[in-house]
Structure 1
Amino acid sequence: MTGTPARLLNLLSLLQTPREWPGSELADRLQVSPRTIRRDIDRLRDLGYPVESSKGAAGGYRLVAGAAMPPLLLDDEEAVAIAVGLRAGAGHAIEGVDEASVRALAKLEQVLPSRLRHRVSTLQNAMIPLTRGDGATVDPHTLTAIASTVTGRERLRFGYRAADGTETRRLVEPYRLVSTGRRWYLVAYDTGREDWRTFRVDRVTEPFATGARFTPRTVPAGWDAKTFVAHSMFRNQPEHALDVSFDASAEYVAAQLPDYLGTPEATGPESCRLRTRAQDSLEWLALRLALMDCEFTVHGPAELSGYLTRLGARLTRAAERGPRGPEA
Structure 2
Amino acid sequence: MKKVLIFGSKGLLGTDLARIGKDLNYDLSAFSRHDLDITHYRILKDAIFSIEPDFVINAAAITNPLRCQEEKNLAMEVNATAVKHMAEICWDLGCTLVHFSTEQVFDGSQSSPYVESHGILKPVNFYGYTKAKAESYIALLQRLVHADHPLQYYLIRSSWLFGSGRNNFVENIFRAVSDTGRAEALYDQSSIPTFSSDLARRTYEIIAWELPFGIYHATNQGSATQFEVAEAVISLGGFQEAQIQPLYRKNITDRRAPLAPSVILGNTKLPLMRHWKDALMEYLTDLKNKAI
TM-score range, shorter chain: under 0.3
**Bigger relative contact order (CA 8 A; separation at least 6):** 2
TM-score by structure 1 length?
0.24
TM-score by structure 2 length?
0.26
